[in-house]
A and B are shown apart, each in its own frame.
Chain A
Amino acid sequence: MAKTNVTLTSSNAGMPEDRQLTVSIYRYNPDVDKKPYTQDYDIHTSEFQGVMMLDLLEALKIKDPTLGFRRSCSEGVCGSDGMNINGKNRLACVTSYLDFSNHITIRPLPGLPVVRDLIVDMTQFYKQYEKAKPFLQNKNDPPVRERLQSIEERNKLDGLYECILCACCTTSCPSFWWNPDKFMGPAALLWAYRFVADSRDTQKAERLEALEDPFSMFRCRTIMNCVDVCPKGLNPTKAIAHLRDEMLKDTS
């Protein structure tokens, strides 16, 4: 055993030094707790493998199996582990504790009801996503083969299709916090533009018309929290600006 440890450390000269972390985590189990509270966990980074916040949470869950959080792919593709780490919405699996001091605070995504601990109820988020009609609509007869796009037409979808619906952006948006039932939020609007910008979609006018009221899209006040937090580096504010431009072109 001791021998293995020695070889491990010697062959991993680049491994980060051992640090003792204090992790403050929002805890709430509605079946048991009257109200939410913060629980502090102490852990040495040498107690677990990996440098990501998700690795840290997994290690904490072994110590305390009552701790609840969502996870799946662990590599920033599925969007399950969105949470508020040190005041900013991020994916735990692609955020490293090396970027933080020895005291880290983790809370659930703000603005959505808490199911338990770091798990939030995403219903409202998905309802807004549905409003974007996130599927290709084409009223023309289907061609014999695929509906083809030029390279330029396809390029317009870059920076839009990559969204993984982790809800980091929408739950960081104050406009969504105050009107989650009326304002669609940055993620849904990014998706709305993804289909408005698609050369194969024939329902552009209808899609734009559905966004023209004072709430669905225009409640965006260009705060740009969405751009700040997006773990995929996307720009929903720019997508919203493009939607407005298209609307102005169509109606003036």
Chain B
Amino acid sequence: MLRSVTSLTRSGLRDWLVQRITAIVLAGYVIFLVGFFMLNQPMSFGLWTALFQNGFMRIFTFLALLSMVYHTWVGMWTVLTDYINCPRFRLLLVIVIVLSLFSYLAWAVAIVWGLR
């Protein structure tokens, strides 16, 4: 049994499952947004803000962002463990990527909920 502290869940099976589930959430979110744009032409600032006033849309957005964080973590961890051979440098890169992802999440939550 091989172990890794930097993978998302440290279980290959769970990482794999998380990657699939988050992919479905992200695909659903993108399809919904594209559909919303296509059905509401011409798009206006009013329509756009009205969409994000909706509690359902805010939670859906939060889920999509959280999925983005987990999905990217699993994916980038895979890419880094393939191509970066120096363990210290790889650890540094994983830390930078994961911290950035959570910063993006916090920033996006602040935007969607209109926090200042």
Contact = CB atoms under 8 A, between A and B. Distances in A.
Interface in B69-99: 78, 81-83
A212 interface: yes
Interface stretch (B6-14, B36-44, B106-114): B6-14
Nearest to A213: B2
Interface in B4-55: 4, 7, 10-13, 15-17
A219 B16 CA distance: 10
Interface stretch (A2-10, A73-81, A109-117, A243-251): A243-251
B115 interface: no
B82 A215 contact: no
Contacts of A214: 2, 4, 7, 10-12, 15
A237 interface: no
Interface string A219-252: 1010000000000000000000000100110010
Contacts, number: 50
Interface string A151-191: 00000000000000000000000110011001000000000
Contacts of A212: 1, 11-13
B116 interface: no
A248 B11 CA distance: 12
Interface residues on A, range: 20 to 34
Contact of B15 (A178, A209, A211, A218): A218
A209 B2 CA distance: 11
Interface centre among A217, A218, A219, A244 (most CB of B within 10 A): A218
A173 to B, nearest CB: 12
Given A182-B2, A210-B1, A217 B82 contact: no
Contact of B13 (A215, A221, A248): A248
A213 B1 contact: yes
B83 A218 contact: no
Given A179-B81, A217-B12, 16 more contacts: A174-B82, A175-B82, A178-B83, A209-B1, A211-B12, A212-B1, A213-B12, A214-B2, A214-B4, A214-B7, A214-B11, A214-B15, A218-B12, A219-B12, A247-B13, A248-B17
